[in-house]
Amino acid sequence: MITYWSVLLALSVLIYVLLDGLDLGVGMLFGATTDEDRRRAMLASIAPIWDGNETWLVVAGVLLWGAFPLVYATLLPAFYLPVCIMLAGLIFRGVSFEFRIHARSSRVVWDLGLILGSLVATFMQGAMVGALAQGIPVENGRFVGSVMTWLTPFSALSGVALCFGYMLLGAGWLAKKCEGDVRTAAFVALPRLLIVVLVLLAALFFHALHQDFQVMGRWLDRPVLFVVPLAGAFASLCVWRGARGKSERYVFSGAAALFVVGYAMFAISFWPYIVPFAITKSTTRPRLCLACGSCSGVPDSSFSR
């Protein structure tokens, strides 16, 4: 059952990232143009799905609370502030999305709310992932950091990287669903966004090596795992060639595949930890963590294999 709930939680988070990620990406790209016809076309492409896509965030939160209460109780104090800011951004984005349709003189306010809401929510998501990868201070199964522990140069860079990643996903969606000037602009933006995303991912990778995040050993011990980043390189090539050839068939699927690969690399790097180097997926409590052969970083009261 533990494995079942772990897989279900992982899938719900991945589905949220892919589905609401494209919505947030379109919301940020919304600020790249002031043409009202283009803006209406961009919003029309996500209007039928954007509110339903956010449901997966609720599913992930409920699964974490119900199936892994210790993890929930550890992460909530660590990320209370960024979660609140993220939810505020999502709420303001949703309100702005609905209100701008009926607004006239105040439309600029709702346009700004849509852009900033998408940007803030995305940055906070990326920053929390970066802080989680870097490791949060946990002692005896409890978070012992401060309210701002989550904010580091690495987590901030992760937030920026996710912003551009979501914009890449959103541009792929616009190229797939829109026509005319919006589609053309999306194809122009895709190669540039892809380059920025790859540069930021490389920066995050070398920053992680410099900080010694205790994950490279897993990859070096099992070289077969490097097929995963090779799949990422292939997905990037699909996006690049699709954008150059103006083929909507490959750009969105390639961008989505790039996210799936990144998600898989994160899972491989930290499995079986749910809270890296502190809490694993298992509910038993042996002192020896069989994942790494030692109890280093795994407190007695934490979940361990």
Q: Is 228 domain-assigned?
A: no
| pLDDT, tens only, 216-258 | 666 666 766 778 888 888 999 999 998 888 887 789 999 999 9
Task: Measure the CA–CA gap between 167 and 30, rounded to whole angstroms.
Answer: 10
Question: Is 216 inside any structural domain?
Answer: no
Q: Is residue 254 domain-resident? A: no
Q: What is the pLDDT at residue 301?
A: 40
The count of structural domains within the chain is 1
Spatial neighbors of 297 by CB under 8 A, at least 6 apart, are 214, 277, 278
| Mean pLDDT within 186-203 | 93
Q: pLDDT by residue (tens digit) across 200-218?
A: 988 888 777 666 556 666 6
Give residue-wise pLDDT tens across range 102-152.
Answer: 888 888 999 999 999 999 999 999 999 999 888 888 887 788 888 899 999
Q: Please provide the average confidence, as pLDDT, over all residues in the chain.
A: 84
Residues spanned by the domain of 143: 2-210
Do the domain assignments include residue 280?
A: no
Q: Residue 202 corresponds to which amino acid?
A: A
Tell whether 18 is covered by a domain.
yes
Judge whether 22 lies within some domain: yes
Q: Count how many Cα atoms sit within 13 Å of the Cα of residue 78 in the half-sphere of its side chain.
A: 27
Residue 238 lies inside a defined structural domain of this protein:
no
- Phi first, then psi, for residue 167 (nearest 5°) are -65, -35
- What pLDDT shows up at residue 102? 84
- Percent with pLDDT over 70 in the chain: 85
- Report if residue 223 sits inside a domain: no
